[in-house]
Amino acid sequence: EAQVTQNPRYLITVTGKKLTVTCSQNMNHEYMSWYRQDPGLGLRQIYYSMNVEVTDKGDVPEGYKVSRKEKRNFPLILESPSPNQTSLYFCASSRDRHNQPQHFGDGTRLSIL
Amino acid sequence: ELKVEQNPLFLSMQEGKNYTIYCNYSTTSDRLYWYRQDPGKSLESLFVLLSNGAVKQEGRLMASLDTKARLSTLHITAAVHDLSATYFCAVPSGNYGGSQGNLIFGKGTKLSVKP
């Protein structure tokens, strides 16, 4: 089954404790992306990757890092999480960056205390 | 900087009625996407509009794109309760062939269809 898998689905942690949210897709998609969703603000793109070893900032990259060492994986790293990063995070992938719709993962709800 | 605005942000409809959701964007783009999100769920692709004048229909939903007016519409015909969800439009910030891969979402339209 074609899917985008995020882990964990829920996480409560404390300020400053490094964490990684994993994202994996099994569709051989070139384009992958991370978003955060906040009430009243909609979805905002954090980082995206157009292929292996090619990543770029979205609209709200501060406080986040990503890597794309393999085509299928695109982890999101919070080196020193802060409470303002409490949010619902979605990973998405598509065959290319513009012509195809994105397939979204189920989301990761992060709470930073 | 590309801005994407949807209106209305909240829409309460009665079953059987028609309505239109609007998505305006501020800079040139030749493509636009519509997504649906059910409460507590992920986003699901509805339509991909790839050129000026594109029209796509699926069941009671029809989406269109006017790139000259920088406007897309999502028309709902004879609404039913199952259409209750939040609908997002999204626009890529660079023209196709450009290097940018940003995708900018509108804030979403929360649709509630009541019997």
Q: Would you give per-residue pLDDT tens digits along chain A (113 residues)?
A: 889 999 999 999 999 999 999 999 999 999 999 999 999 888 999 999 989 999 999 989 999 999 999 999 999 999 999 999 999 999 999 987 666 788 999 999 999 99
**Contact residues, chain A, for B25 at CB < 8 Å:** none
Q: Which of A41, A45, A102 sits opposite B102 (nearest CB)?
A: A45
B48 CB neighbour count, 10 Å cutoff = 19
For residues B96 and B67, what is the distance between their CA atoms, to the nearest angstrom?
Answer: 14
Q: What is the pLDDT of residue B31?
A: 87
Bridge partner residues of A99 (DSSP): none
- Asked if B108's CB is within 8 angstroms of A42's CB, the reply is yes
* A-B Cβ pairs (cutoff 8 Å, strict): 59
- Please report, for chain A, how many H helices and E strands are present, in that order: 0, 11
Distance from CA of A82 to the nearest CA of B (A): 24
What is the structure's pLDDT at A44? 94
Residues of A in contact with B101 (CB under 8 A): 31, 33, 48, 50, 56, 97
Are A28 and A71 a contacting pair, CB within 8 Å?
yes
Give the residue on B whose Cα is nearest the Cα of A56.
Answer: B101
pLDDT beyond 90 at B102: no
Q: How far, in Å, are A7, A65, A113, B19 from residue A20 at the CA level?
A: 9, 9, 16, 42
Among chain A, residues having any CB pair with chain B shorter than 8 Å are 31, 33, 35, 40-45, 48, 50, 56, 58-59, 90, 92, 97-107
pLDDT at B97: 40
Of A36, A50, A40, the closest CA to residue A81 belongs to A36
User: Is the Cβ–Cβ distance between A90 and A9 less than 8 Å?
Assistant: no
Instruction: State the pLDDT confidence band at B98, using cuts at 50, 70 and 90.
Output: very low
Reading the block at residue B81, the tokens are 């309760």
Interchain proximity B48–A56, CB inside 8 Å: no
pLDDT in tens, B81-96: 999 999 999 998 764 4
Instruction: Round the average pLDDT of chain B to a whole number and report it.
Output: 91
